[in-house]
Amino acid sequence: MNEDIQVQPAEEPVKPEVKYKSGTHKLNEYNWLADLPFDSLHNEVVEVRFKNTRKGFYRNVNGLKLEVDDLVAVEASPGHDIGYVSMTGFLVLQQLKKMKIRPVIEEMKKVYRKARPVDLQKWEEARKLEIPTMLRSRKIAENLGLAMKIGDVEYQGDKTKAIFYYLADERVDFRQLIKVLAEEFHIRIEMRQIGARQEAGRIGGIGTCGRELCCSTHVTNFVSVTTSHARYQDLSLNPQKLAGQCGKLKCCLNYELDCYIDAQREFPSKEVPLELAGGTAWFMKMEVHTGVYWYSTDPRIAANLTAVPVDRVREIMQLNRKGVKPESLLAGTPNNRMERGNDLLLQNSGLTRFETKSHPHEGKGRHRQYPRRNERKQQ
């Protein structure tokens, strides 16, 4: 994307080389209405994407026939900006409804034209200035003693304005910083604060699952994650295991949360101990999808753990309400051990399942048993 563009007069617009294939960028949307014929009435509003998960809806005032991944010059304040068309047609109206946006069409910013070679050349020059500007601005912020980190810089397509994305734990007074940056780079400055998750998505990396970070591949809207999400899934509340590379709770804790909540709707309460004839059983942990509660004879530590099906737990609670205390946790099993069935995954989950037992052949190799001297003499 950073290769120079050869600009010649009377030449068609040339797109910069794109590192990703069409439709695989995380800001792209799948157009499930692509088979419908083109209708200019539904092309009045288009969605345009920029850098750093920034998107916007623009009015196609000139009635251009725009397609996904077309480079267009759009209205900005001030000047114009360059971006990729990410969505067109009737799907844009559905996206506005999904995002609960009710824009006034007449007040929306406009799409001026498809990007010309001159626009693309200036845009490429501006993009090449982003990394040097970011490094220089970091030193300026450090010299001013500001507790902030400038994570990225995004130049506008006409090189008249730049957005500085920064991270800060506390409120920062950057009025002096804006003055110094404006004098240094001779552009209009806009400061925009981002979170640690947006920063991790911009940098990228590999997660503990071995795959590329979700925030750098497909996640664009970050949903809040709390420790209650881990409790519903019966996960260990270990911050080191639950936190991602951004230092926040992992976004993937949301993926299966609804499934776990639905599975536990009919489960009995975990706070109620089970009264038995020989003592009291206390809840320790559970296996949601197998429908199993684990109980201990000690309320503080896991002692003599017993796996009890959810139906049996519900039955014991009903007996306790009637004042009846059963003899054991499990009905019909003398050793208080639940039969796990023929689940191969659970049967082969031991630590020694990868070890191969060798059976040495008698009379061969180093394992051959030779008779001792005294035995030879007796023979």
Cα dihedral 33, 35, 36, 40 sign: positive
Kindly report the pTM of this predicted structure.
Answer: 0.64
Burial (CB count within 10 angstroms: exposed 0-12, middle 13-18, buried 19+), residue 98: exposed
* Maximum mean pLDDT: which of 117-121, 197-201, 288-292: 117-121
Q: Is the pLDDT of residue 285 over 60?
A: yes
∠ CA 142-143-146, nearest 5°, is 50
What mean pLDDT comes out for the span 339-356? 53
Q: What is the mean pLDDT of the chain?
A: 80
Q: Which residues contact 99 (CB under 8 A, 6 or more apart)?
A: none
Query: In terms of CATH, what superfamily is 129-194?
Result: K homology (KH) domain (3.30.300.20)
Give pLDDT tens digits for 229-244. Answer: 988 888 888 888 899 8
Using only C-alpha atoms, what is the Rg of the chain?
33
Q: Which residues contact 323 (CB under 8 A, 6 or more apart)?
A: none
- Reported as a pLDDT band with limits 50, 70 and 90, residue 371 is low
Give pLDDT tens digits for 60-78. Answer: 988 888 888 889 999 998 8
Q: Map out the domains of the chain as residue ranges.
A: 1-116, 129-194, 200-263, 266-337
Q: What six digits make up the tokens of 39?
A: 């209708």
Q: How far is residue 139's CA from residue 184's CA, in Å, rounded to a whole number?
A: 12
Of the chain, the percentage scoring pLDDT greater than 70 comes to 77
Cis before 37 (ω within 30): no
Q: Is the pLDDT of residue 373 over 70?
A: no
Give the range among 161-175, 187-201, 284-298, 352-366 with minimum mean pLDDT.
352-366
